Amino acid sequence: QVQLVESGGGLVQAGGSLRLSCAASISIDNAYFMGWYRQAPGKQRELVASIINRGNTSYGDSVKARFTISRDNAKNTVYLQMNSLKPEDTAVYYCNVFVSPNDYWGQGTQVTVSS
């Protein structure tokens, strides 16, 4: 069974940084889409950052210039570097990888930013 295992979440003060990792049990060489989503209590899940077709990155307006998504194909891992964290970044963060024709999700990792 394919697994995506997220790590790197935790509690951090506002202004701090965290790096999330998402390790896949399959090769991501041919992944068309890799993304990080987040869901805060009482809110809908939203797309935070994505890599499409190997190189094109995209970010939500609220995280632009603060978050960076990257991939390491050799390690089958996608990362999310989060800097200048704000309390409103508090959420469960989920990794999503699409390798045609399958769509995979991680279990989520909690990020809590204190003010």
User: What are 14-66's pLDDT values in tens digits?
Assistant: 999 999 999 999 888 888 999 999 999 999 999 999 999 778 999 999 999 99
| 3-34 residues labelled b (16+ CB within 10 A) or e (exposed) | ebebebbeebeeeeebebbbbbeeebeebeeb
Q: Span 3-16, mean pLDDT?
A: 96
Cα 10–14–15 angle (5° rounding)?
105
Mean predicted confidence (pLDDT) in 93-107: 94
Please give the average per-residue pLDDT across 94-108, as a whole number: 94
Write the pLDDT tens digit of every residue in 64-78: 999 999 999 999 999
